Amino acid sequence: MLLTGLSLLLVAIIGGLALEIMGEKAMRNLSIILAFGGAYIMGLIFLHLVPEAFRFHSIAGTFVLIGFLVQIFLEYISKGLEHGHVHLSPSHNHSNVMPWAAIASLCLHAFLESMPLAEGAVAVNTMGHVHVHVHASTAIGSALFIGLALHKLPVALVLMGLIKSTGATRIVRWSLITFFGLMPLAGMCFYDIVIHSNAISSGNIDTILAATNGLVIGILLHVSTTVLFESGEGHSFNLRKLVATLLGLGIAYVTLA
């Protein structure tokens, strides 16, 4: 779990570093990266996450809707950072006011979507006691980890650009990017504590797993559909974006179907 969290921190640092080194040039192919990542996440949702969630409990459907609504609320606060875009009014551009609400929203998003990475195996009931065995080695190579890494890279890049536009110092910029990068690890640790809690019984562990996975599905479903619909200027696709989308879906199908 620690290695998985630190790996996602590294992804965030790479995204921030790309903006620091390349500046506006780093944004040049952002729409292609977003289209590819969004398509892969879409395939991940329907080929892996949905079957897995409903295998635990049918309540997953309710939490898919809740997750979708949660993401709508988070995006309202963050102005679209979760899907690699920033929709700020002209009066906010190049402002020296730090967008704390947007950053907090983005951190909460990263916290929530990473929680299932703490799951390595299904809970085992031994003599009336529930034991949830977590295998971090499977998490770091999992499809969800890959999807979140593809999603986190452009988001970190855009976040760094937004923070930099406020005139923040290098220490402040990198402190915020590091804090954002550590949110997945915090989410995994929190979820690990919950599923190992003595309050969890054999009767409700499946419900908790289904609810958490359903929540993440709803969040990622909103992100992926928004990315695909807004991956081009004027909501249009060019050939490169179409190829990136098909490639993302194709890789998801080959690896997960």
Local confidence band at 93 (pLDDT 50, 70, 90 cut-offs): very low
20 or 231, which is more confident? 20
Q: How far is residue 254's CA from residue 48's CA, in Å, rounded to a whole number?
A: 12
Mean pLDDT, the chain, integer:
83
Chain-centroid distance, C-alpha 81: 11
CA distances from 187 to 107, 126, 182, 190, 216 (A): 10, 27, 9, 5, 12
Check if the beta carbon of residue 102 is closer than 8 Å to that of residue 81: yes
- Which H or E run contains 124? strand 124-126
Domain that holds residue 217: 2-85+96-256
Confidence of residue 233 (pLDDT cuts 50, 70, 90): low
In a domain, 72, yes or no: yes
- 243 within a domain of the structure (yes/no): yes
Task: List, for residues 103-150, the tens digit of each pLDDT value.
Answer: 999 999 999 999 999 865 444 444 444 444 444 445 666 889 999 999
Residue 90 included in any domain: no
User: What's the confidence (pLDDT) of residue 130?
Assistant: 42
Q: What is the model's pLDDT at position 229?
A: 78
- Residue 187 within any structural domain of the chain: yes
Domain count, the chain: 1
pLDDT band at 17 (very low <50, low <70, confident <90, very high): very high
Q: Is residue 69 assigned to a domain?
A: yes
Rounded to a whole number of angstroms, the distance between the first and last alpha carbons of the chain is: 26
Contact 94, 163 (CB under 8 A): no
Q: Is residue 91 part of a domain?
A: no
Residue 202 belongs to some domain of the structure: yes
| 230 or 42: which leads in pLDDT | 42
